[in-house]
A and B are shown apart, each in its own frame.
Chain A
Amino acid sequence: MATKVFEWPRYLKKAVFHYCPGCGHSIIHRLVAEVIDELGIGERCIGVPPAGCAVLAYNYFDVDMGEAPHGRGAAVATGIKRVLPDRIVFTYQGDGDIAAIGTAETIHAANRGENVTVIFVNNGVYGMTGGQMAPTTLIGQNSTTTPGGRDIRRDGAPLNLSEMLGIANGSAYIERTAVSSPKTIRHTKKALTKAFKVQMAGLGFSLVEILSPCPTNWKLSPVDAVKWVDESMTRYFPLKVIKDLAPDLK
Chain B
Amino acid sequence: MGIEGYVIVSAVLFVLGVTGVLVRRSPLVMLMAIELMWGAAALLVLTFGRLFGYMDAHVFAFMIIVVGAAEAAIGLALIVQMFRTKEAADVDDVRALRG
Q: Is the pairing of A and B real? A: no
Interface set of A (CB-CB < 8 Å, partner B): none
Interface set of B (CB-CB < 8 Å, partner A): none
